[in-house]
Amino acid sequence: VTGPRVAVLSGGVGGARFLHGLCAELPARDVTAVVNVGDDFEPYGLHVSPDLDTVLYTLSGLIDDERGWGVAGDSARALEQARRLGDEAWFWLGDVDLGLHLARAALLRSGAPLSSATATLARRLALELRLLPATDDPLRTYVGTDAGELDFQTYFVRRGQRDAVRGVRLDGVATARPAPGVLDALGSADLIVIAPSNPLISIGPILAVPGIRSAVAARRAATVAVSPIVGGRALKGPAAAMLRSLGHEVSPVGVARLYADVCATLVLDEVDDGHAAAVEALGVRAVVTQTVMTGHGGRRRLARAVLEAGGLRCPVAAGP
Ligand code: FO1
């Protein structure tokens, strides 16, 4: 017997935490995550896929919950040695995380596309959800700033998000193809969820892969988005500043405008109750609930609220 199938478009921390709650509410094998790869980066000759790895580490319990990325308690002996040997090593890769990257590098070098390397890593970490990169093709986010155009990790990590964002360019997007399984998952899901991730640099690059936005739009009635903006702020990351500097309203209304063609429902936080009418005026149903994922209970609560907003009842008894 299979339960409802859910496909989730996800970036890093917010999406991973939502997926963690969802996989406690539904059998994880019925969940497919379609994950942003625009942040991917090749330091030290390795392929780092931060959003995929944040999902892998969050769902396997290895995550450093405070930072939201990397492995809890990881050491940095390899990186320190690289620095002693003259490498700037500004991108932090812990020793345990480095181990995952060595395994991924071996899989990719043997000819596996990113999607099958990811499936292998997920299986080896005993994850049951289906974890898909949005695309196997190179798609890289570049950020236009007053200091020039920067690759995403130079903007995000090296320069600490200090530059005002004037534009976002997705290199390679025109020829990127959805990874195997993505369009099938979107077409056959009972519910599609757009996780509370940055609409511009996490969800944007997924929807921009030719074929994905139209596949979600074709399932608009079955798609529920969760606003990552709560009370005029992003819970994590630069979404608020980025929306503002690119001329979007920093509220669930601004989010609803970006998603109005792909989702029929937006879940927004109680503190934004006053925005519900303006969201609905855009033709998007507003569901108001507590969206802040405090602790594992908060992740599960949000997952249940989203399943309910999507018209699905949870087969698993409501937990804490
Ligand atoms: N974020 C940082 O702020 N500094 C880092 O040195 C850093 C290293 C890193 C390594 C692996 C990984 O999976 C994520 C890492 N992140 C780091 C986070 C990452 O850059 C961002 O969280 C995402 O790209 C934004 O979604």
Residue 199: what pLDDT? Answer: 97
What pLDDT was estimated at residue 315? 45
Nearest ligand 1 atom, CA 91: 6
What pLDDT, on the 0 to 100 scale, is given for residue 299? 97
- 69-96 burial code (b ≥16 CB/10 A, e <16): bbbeebebebbeeeeeeeeebebebbee
Which residue, judged by its Cα, is nearest atom 25 of ligand 1? Answer: 12
Nearest CA to ligand 1 atom 18: 69
Instruction: Check the CA dihedral 227-229-230-231 and report its sign.
Output: negative
Q: Tell me which amino acid residue 217 is.
A: A
Dist. CA 177–CA 131, nearest whole Å: 17
Give the binding-site residues of ligand 1, using a 6 Å CB cut-off. 11-12, 39, 48, 50-51, 53-54, 69-70, 91-93, 97, 153, 156-157
Which two tokens mark 62?
A: 């290895």
CA of 90, closest atom in ligand 1: 6
Report residue 63: phi and psi, to 5°.
Answer: -60, 145
135's torsion region: left (phi>0), alpha (psi -120 to 50) or beta? beta
Identify the residue whose C-alpha is closest to ligand 1 atom 3. Answer: 157
Ligand 1 pocket: which of 87, 156, 165, 202 to mutate (most atoms within 8 A of CB): 156
- Residue 224: its pLDDT value, please? 98
User: Strand 265-269 vs strand 285-289: parallel, antiparallel, or unpaired?
Assistant: parallel
Other beta carbons within 10 Å of 188: 11
Q: What is the pLDDT of residue 3?
A: 83
With tokens 């019925």, the residue in question is 30
pLDDT of residue 309: 96
Distance between Cα 303 and ligand 1 center (Å): 25
How far is the centre of ligand 1, averaged over its atoms, from the C-alpha of 221 (Å)? 34
- pLDDT of the residue at 237: 87
Nearest CA to ligand 1 atom 12: 50
Give the residue, out of 58, 63, 69, 159, with the most ligand 1 atoms within 8 A of its beta carbon, to mutate for a pocket test. 69
**pTM metric for this prediction:** 0.96
Q: 116 alpha carbon to ligand 1 midpoint, in Å?
A: 22
Expressed in angstroms and rounded, the spacing between residue 166 Cα and the centre of ligand 1 is: 22
Question: In the structure encoding, which two tokens stand for residue 131, read together?
Answer: 């974890």
* Distance from Cα 70 to the centre of ligand 1, integer Å: 8
How does strand 285-289 pair with strand 229-230? unpaired
Query: Hey, what are 45's tokens?
Result: 């000759």
At residue 285, what is the residue type? R
Residue 317 is predicted with a pLDDT of 47
What is the total residue count of the chain? 320
Running along the chain, 320 residues long, what does each successive block of 10 average in pLDDT?
Answer: 89 97 97 98 96 98 96 98 96 98 98 98 98 98 97 97 95 98 98 98 98 98 98 91 95 98 98 98 97 94 97 59
| Nearest atom of ligand 1 to the alpha carbon of 36 | 26
Atom of ligand 1 nearest to the CA of 49: 13
For residue 97, give the ligand 1 atom closest to its CA: 11
For the residues of the chain, what is the DSSP string, one character each?
Answer: -----EEEEE-SHHHHHHHHHHHHHS-GGGEEEEE--TT-B-GGG--B-HHHHHHHHHHHT-B-TTTSSSBTT---HHHHHHHHTT----S---HHHHHHHHHHHHHHHTT--HHHHHHHHHHHTT--SEEEESBSS--EEEEEETTEEEEHHIIIIISTT-SPP-EEEEETGGG--BPTTHHHHHHH-SEEEE-SS-IIIIIHHHHHSTTHHHHHHTTGGGEEEE-SEETTEESSSSHHHHHHHTT--SSHHHHHHHHTTT-SEEEEEGGGGGGHHHHHHTT-EEEEE-----HHHHHHHHHHHHHHHTT---SSPP--
pLDDT of residue 314: 53
Please say whether the beta carbons of 225 and 265 come within 8 A.
yes
Distance 58 CA to ligand 1 centre (A): 14
